[in-house]
Structure 1
Amino acid sequence: MKQLWDLAGVFAYLSLLTVGGGMAAFPEMKTLTVDTYHWVTFPELLHFYSLGQLAPGPNMMMVASIGVTVAHLPGALVALVAFFLPTGLLTLFVGRLWTHLATWRWRPSIQTGLGSVAVGLVLAGAIIMGRGAITEFFFGLIALAVFLLLWRTKINPAYPIVASGLIGMALHYFNIA
């Protein structure tokens, strides 16, 4: 039962850090789920996050995978509710307040500041994820190639995701990585 309360507390807290998306909470998620509670290993967390990126729907549904690892189906349900309910309610409240304050002179400054915070949080998450995912030079090349491809073209992200997965499978099959 204590594990369910711990899951609820951790994921409710993490949900409030998702300014700019789920990647914004990744550094703290790594700290809590890997380093503090030891629910998963860093490679497992990266695996869950990657699967969340591939699956349809919100990518942060991956928190259910951590919940399952900790406390089976009840853990998955607790992690999902704890992660999505607080931000859902906060978004409802802030959205209504934001509409009410449409002519407030501080509103553009707050929006600009929050945008900067969101970029910083997402960048920190990407760096921490990169430290764990890019374990060899070749994987760094794949990351760089995908980054440049997505930055400079309008290619559907599904193509480099599938291609990268196939490359990883081939490397594993031939015992290269």
Structure 2
Amino acid sequence: MKELLELFWVFARMGAVTFGGGYAMLPIIQREIVEKRGWATEEEVMDYYAIGQCTPGIIAVNTSTFIGYRRKGILGGFVATFGFVFPSLVIIMLIAAFLRNFAHITYVKYAFDGIRICVCALILDAVLKLGKKSVIDKWCAGICIVITLLSVFTSLSPVVLVILSAAAGISIKSMQEMKGGKA
């Protein structure tokens, strides 16, 4: 029971500062789960991000579910997920109740402008950290460049991009193994 409460509170604290969606939360999840608590390795969390991107829902919520499940099974997945979304539900209900009264105030508009910039910086931080761990050789760099270009210049679904990346990774690594070495 103690571990379940800890799961709830850890994810509730992270969920309470979820500004800008799931991607903005990735560095916070990484710092809290990998560096501070040691509940998962960086590689495992990166795998959770990849799977979370391919499954319906918000990537940070999906990742919390995976981590909770890893720690305490199905109940742990539920508790971690509920912990992550609970603060958002409360905050959204409060904002919905009062936003109409304050949205026209100049300083509220300025605050939201500042928050949007912060969210961009948090997302960039997550991208840079993930990139450092993910781009491990020239083939990974090539896949990264191609998928980035496809993402920017086409309307392909992220699921299709992940499947293409997986297929490329399997193909390249299989060919390397058949040749008996690394490229």
> TM-score, normalising length from structure 1?
0.90
The one-letter amino acid paired with 1:72 is G
Identity %: 24
Provide the residue aligned with 1:104 in structure 2.
Answer: 105
1:70 Cα deviation (Å)? 0.8
Q: Is the 8 A contact 1:27 1:125 kept in 2?
A: yes
**1: CA distance, partners of 2:69 / 2:159:** 27
Q: Is the 8 A contact 1:67 1:79 kept in 2?
A: yes
Match status 1:34 vs 2:34: yes
Q: Is the 8 A contact 1:21 1:122 kept in 2?
A: no
Kindly report which structure 2 residues correspond to 1:1-177, keeping only aligned pairs within 5 A, or say none. 1-59=1-59, 60-174=61-175, 175=177
Distance 1:68 1:158, change over 3 A: closer
**2: CA distance, partners of 1:18 / 1:137:** 34
- Unaligned 5+ runs, structure 1: none
**2: CA distance, partners of 1:39 / 1:102:** 40
Q: Is the 8 A contact 1:17 1:24 kept in 2?
A: no
**1: CA distance, partners of 2:122 / 2:81:** 22
Bigger relative CO (Cα 8 Å, ≥ 6 apart): 1
**1: CA distance, partners of 2:70 / 2:159:** 27
What count of residue pairs does the alignment treat as equivalent?
Answer: 177
CA RMSD of aligned residues (A): 1.8
The one-letter amino acid paired with 2:6 is D
Q: Is the 8 A contact 2:21 2:58 kept in 1?
A: no
Q: Is the 8 A contact 1:24 1:125 kept in 2?
A: yes
**1: CA distance, partners of 2:129 / 2:17:** 16
**2: CA distance, partners of 1:32 / 1:58:** 18
**Residue 106 of structure 1 aligns to a residue in which SS?**
helix
1:93 Cα deviation (Å)? 0.9
More divergent stretch after superposition (63-72 vs 164-173): 164-173
> TM-score, normalising length from structure 2?
0.87
